[in-house]
Amino acid sequence: MSGITNPNEEYFKDGLWGWDSTAGVWVKLKVTTGTGHQLVDQGSDFEVVQPTPADLAVAAHGWDGTLWRKLPVLFGYSDRYAEVETALDVAAGDPILTFSTVPEGEIWVIQSLVGRSYQANVTSIRLVAVTAAVDVTLKEDVPAAALRTVDWSGALVLKKDDHLEARFYGCLLHDNVYAEVWGYKMKVAE
């Protein structure tokens, strides 16, 4: 490799090269196991070992401008989430339709939540996200008309033990109430 510094040479960009003063030739260098020093090609595979095992922990990392850090959970799709709750021929009062609770190991992203009454008796319909810290009203229709859908859409993230409710106020005996939710589930790697 007489022209090692010439970019037109065929081996110029093929790895890291060093001058072997004993043989008087350029040789391709490789990292050896254990020492981390660069030596002449040993002609066999080698394994990379780091002194701190935690440095090789399986995780997604990203550069924040100063350090490489483990990234937070990246959102993905594991399964669809769709559920319908109904209460037919309810007693007079304020029935609540409660959806499933998010299990451990999952996050749910809610994209649509609707509630409806088939009678004109209800005074309001409230769509609520129930969390450990607070109940959040997503939408409320006062007064709610018969056969009218009260709907909320967006991107709501629910975690373990959170759930949704459709609350109906002022129902009379024999009213029929319905609620539906749509979104997707994401499994969370522990």
| Of 32, 28, 2, nearest in space to 13 by CA | 28
Q: How many domains does one find in the chain? A: 2
Whether 27 is in a domain gets the answer: yes
Say whether both 36 and 123 belong to one domain. Answer: no
Read off the pLDDT of each residue in 58-81 and give the average, rounded to a whole number.
78
Answer yes or no: is pLDDT of 3 > 80.
Answer: no
Give the range among 1-10, 19-28, 55-64, 91-100 with minimum mean pLDDT. 1-10
Say whether both 112 and 148 belong to one domain. Answer: yes
Give the range among 8-17, 150-159, 174-183 with minimum mean pLDDT. 8-17
Looking at every residue in the chain, the average pLDDT score rounds to: 81
The pTM of the full predicted model, rounded to 2 decimals, is 0.64
Interatomic CA distance for residues 58 and 108, integer angstroms: 24
Last residue of a domain, one of 51, 71, 88: 51
Task: Kindly indicate the confidence band of residue 9, based on its pLDDT and cuts at 50, 70 and 90.
Answer: low
Q: Tell me: the pLDDT tens digits for 89-102?
A: 999 999 999 999 99
Residue type, 53: P
The position carrying tokens 């649509």 is 112
Q: What is the DSSP string of the chain?
A: -TTTT-TTSTTTTSS-EEEETTTTEEEEEEEPTTT--EEE--SS------SSGGGG-S--EEE-SSSEEE--PPP---EEEEEEEEE-SPPSB--EEEPPPPPTTEEEEEEEEEEEESSS--SEEEEEEE-SS-EEEEEEESSPPTTEEEEEEEEEEE-TT-EEEEEEESBPTT--EEEEEEEEEEE---
Domain residues for the domain of 45 are 1-51
Say whether both 8 and 102 belong to one domain. Answer: no
Say whether both 124 and 179 belong to one domain. Answer: yes
Say whether both 84 and 5 belong to one domain. Answer: no
Residue 187 pairs with which residues in a beta bridge?
106
